[in-house]
């Protein structure tokens, strides 16, 4: 299983190794708001003016869907692993990483994302930033909310405040390909100390088929890649 994980990333290693950045983490990204290339003429995603980026992760995983009575798929959560790419932010390869990783991840026929995350931790990969998954909404006890969990590895390992649970405040269709790529998001924290605001940008993949058959179509998981930018937070300062 470890070999399978490395097979996923072996082809992408040339992006990191020549620059000496593999296993280089925790670089300062506070001045790199300009690297978030938000589309013009939209008001849904607005960068904070009172805080700066603290972390940037390149996430790969799956968007999960179930078929509704309206014969379309609705999102019921996601699972993803975030790799710390803070030391690559602003470099010449930064903008190409989502395409490169998605090409590899989308063609990867190995274990599930849950197994990949497990094996990633078993080999003590120091590039790990966080895990992304959904939990029951802590405010209402109903529905689900996105969580980014930094507690399992790195400098925040064991720190029970090192997470953020959020709620969406803005969304726009992907400016790259809205048919195949999930929306870009602006999420505000409702719990946790790792960040006050999270942005999902530069998405690749993740959109479900346009239709399904209620009662017959199984739940599906669709692979995706995205950048996650974390702003503020008492632990991110």
Q: What is the mean pLDDT of residues 75-104?
A: 91
**In Å, what is the CA distance from 4 to each residue of 16, 58, 116?**
19, 20, 8
Q: pTM (2 decimals)?
A: 0.90
Torsion of CA 107, 113, 118, 119, to 10 degrees: 0
φ, ψ of residue 236 to 5 degrees: the values are -95, -5
pLDDT at position 135, please? 96
Alpha carbons 158 and 235: distance in angstroms, whole number: 13
- For residue 224, the SS3 value is strand
Q: Where are the extended beta strands (E) located within the chain?
A: 53-67, 73-84, 128-136, 144-149, 163-172, 184-191, 197-205, 220-231
205: left (phi over 0), alpha (psi -120 to 50) or beta: left
Which stretch of DSSP H or E encloses residue 5? helix 2-10
pLDDT of 30 > 60? The answer is yes
∠ Cα 27 29 32 (to 5°): 145
pLDDT at position 93, please? 85
pLDDT of 17 > 80? The answer is no
pLDDT of 167 > 70? The answer is yes
Window from 77-81, 120-124, 218-222 with minimum mean pLDDT = 120-124
Alpha carbons 105 and 226: distance in angstroms, whole number: 12
Alpha carbons 196 and 157: distance in angstroms, whole number: 20
Alpha carbons 155 and 137: distance in angstroms, whole number: 27
pLDDT at position 134, please? 97
pLDDT of 80 > 50? The answer is yes
* Residues contacting residue 148 through CB under 8 Å, at least 6 positions apart: 82, 130, 131, 132, 163, 164, 166, 192, 194, 195, 198, 228, 230
Per-residue pLDDT tens digits for 206-218: 999 999 999 999 9
pLDDT at position 146, please? 98
């Amino acid at each position: 299983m470890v070999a399978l994980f490395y097979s996923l990333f072996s082809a992408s290693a040339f992006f990191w190794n020549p620059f000496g950045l593999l296993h280089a983490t925790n670089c300062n990204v506070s001045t790199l708001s300009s690297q978030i290339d938000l589309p013009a003429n939209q008001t849904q995603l607005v960068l904070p003016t009172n805080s700066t980026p603290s972390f940037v992760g390149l996430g790969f995983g799956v968007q999960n869907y179930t078929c509704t009575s309206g014969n379309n798929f609705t999102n019921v959560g996601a699972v993803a692993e975030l790799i710390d790419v803070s030391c690559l932010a602003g470099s010449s390869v930064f903008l190409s990483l989502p395409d490169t990783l998605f090409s590899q991840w989308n063609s990867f026929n190995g274990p599930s994302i849950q197994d990949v995350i497990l094996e990633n931790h078993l080999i003590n990969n120091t590039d790990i930033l966080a895990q992304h998954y959904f939990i029951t909404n802590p405010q209402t006890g109903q529905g689900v909310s996105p969580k980014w969990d930094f507690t399992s590895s790195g400098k925040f390992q064991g720190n029970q405040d090192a997470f953020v649970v959020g709620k969406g405040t803005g969304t726009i269709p992907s400016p790259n390909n809205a048919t195949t790529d999930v929306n870009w998001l602006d999420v505000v924290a409702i719990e946790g100390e790792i960040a006050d605001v999270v942005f999902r940008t530069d998405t690749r993949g993740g959109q479900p088929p346009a239709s399904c058959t209620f009662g017959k179509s199984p739940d599906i998981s669709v692979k995706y890649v995205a950048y996650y930018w974390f702003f503020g937070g008492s632990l991110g300062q």
